Amino acid sequence: MSKNISNLSGRIGLKNNLFQKLSDRSLNSKNGDGIKEIAEEYRMGVSTIHGAESFYEFLRPAHREKKAFVCNGSACMCAGTQEPLKKKLKEKLGDDKVGEMFCLGYCYENKAFHYDGKNFAGKDINKIDEIIKGQEIDQDKFYSKSFSSTSFLMDDKISNFDQFKEHLKKFLNLDKKEIIKSLLDSNLTGRGGAGFPTGMKWDFCSKAKSEKKICCL
pLDDT of residue 25: 80
User: Structurally, what CATH architecture does the domain formed by 65-132 represent?
Assistant: 3-Layer(aba) Sandwich (3.40)
Residue 212's pLDDT is 74
pLDDT of 24: 79
Mean pLDDT of 37-48: 86
By the 8 A CB rule, do 49 and 38 touch?
yes
Q: What's the mean pLDDT in 175-204?
A: 81
141 vs 92, higher pLDDT = 92
Binned at pLDDT 50, 70 and 90, residue 93 comes out as: very high
pTM: 0.51
Whole-number pLDDT of residue 124? 94
Whether the predicted pLDDT of 82 surpasses 90: yes
Angle at 29 between CA 24 and CA 33, to 5 degrees: 100
pLDDT at 5: 46
CB contact at 8 A, 58 and 101: yes
Dist CA 183 CA 189 (whole Å): 9
Q: Where are the domains of the chain?
A: 2-61, 65-132, 161-207
